[in-house]
Amino acid sequence: MSHYMIYGKKDCPHTQKAREDFKRKAIPFIFIDVDNNPKGLEQLLEYSDGKYIVPVIVDVDKGNVEIGYTGE
């Protein structure tokens, strides 16, 4: 199973949905709150080509990056 990083904001509904869906599906992830983590914000901007869009979901093992989340 892959290892995921979710970069987002606690008050973002799309970030909240991603976290809830991952928990419900028992998919392990680490949440990085970019509001309180300057290094995390820096990493998010690297993954999103400088665009401040949350969430950014990274499949660490496969190197896949998903920008935004709708749950579909």
Q: How many CB atoms lie within 10 A of CB 36?
A: 10
CATH of the domain at 11: 3.40.30.10
Specify the pLDDT at position 56: 97
Q: Tell me, what's the pLDDT at 70?
A: 85
Peptide bond into 38 cis (omega under 30): no
Q: Say if 30 falls within a structural domain.
A: yes
Residue 63 belongs to some domain of the structure: yes
- E strands, the chain, in order: 4-8, 29-33, 56-59, 64-67
pLDDT band (50, 70, 90) for residue 71 = confident
72 within some domain: no
Q: Domain residues for 22?
A: 4-67
Whether residue 57 lies inside any domain: the answer is: yes
For position 1, what pLDDT does the model report?
59
- pLDDT tens string 11-70: 999 999 999 999 999 999 999 999 999 999 999 999 999 999 999 999 998 989 999 998
Count of the separate structural domains present in the chain: 1
